């Protein structure tokens, strides 16, 4: 299922994220990180986390192997290490 409903998020670390489109496997995100980077329409893909980290939205711990969304563009963008937990995203959007 694909939806184009805009879903804005203010993150604790000053990053502003707006989910412009989403499906089970892909997100299109507006990512604004003051003083660092701004992406108007950035494609993210669902995958397993290759490393442990922190969810950009919830600041919860992500463990290697967890389902996450990560930037999918090449060359690697400034926020290439960012991850959004698939579980957290589903909870925020009221899905599964």
**Residue 1: inside a domain:** no
Helices of type H across the chain: 86-93
Residues ≥6 apart with Cβ < 8 Å to 14: 33, 34
Per the structure, the count of domains in the chain is 1
Q: How much is the pTM? A: 0.84
Range of the domain at 61: 7-93
Does the pLDDT of residue 22 top 60, yes or no?
yes
**Residue 40: inside a domain:** yes
**Residue 19: inside a domain:** yes
C-alpha to C-alpha distance for 88 and 65, rounded to whole angstroms: 15
> Are 62 and 50 within 8 A, CB to CB?
no
**Residue 2: inside a domain:** no
Does the pLDDT of residue 64 top 50, yes or no?
yes
Mean pLDDT confidence for 33-44: 90
């Amino acid at each position: 299922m694909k939806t184009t409903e805009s879903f804005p998020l203010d993150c604790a670390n000053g990053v502003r994220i707006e989910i412009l489109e989403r499906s089970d496997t892909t997100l299109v995100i507006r990512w604004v990180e003051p003083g660092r980077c701004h992406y108007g329409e950035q494609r993210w893909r669902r995958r397993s986390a290759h490393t442990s980290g922190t969810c950009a939205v919830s600041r919860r711990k992500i463990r290697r192997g967890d389902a996450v969304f990560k930037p999918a563009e090449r060359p690697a963008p400034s926020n290439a290490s960012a991850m959004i937990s698939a579980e957290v995203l589903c909870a925020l959007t009221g899905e599964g």
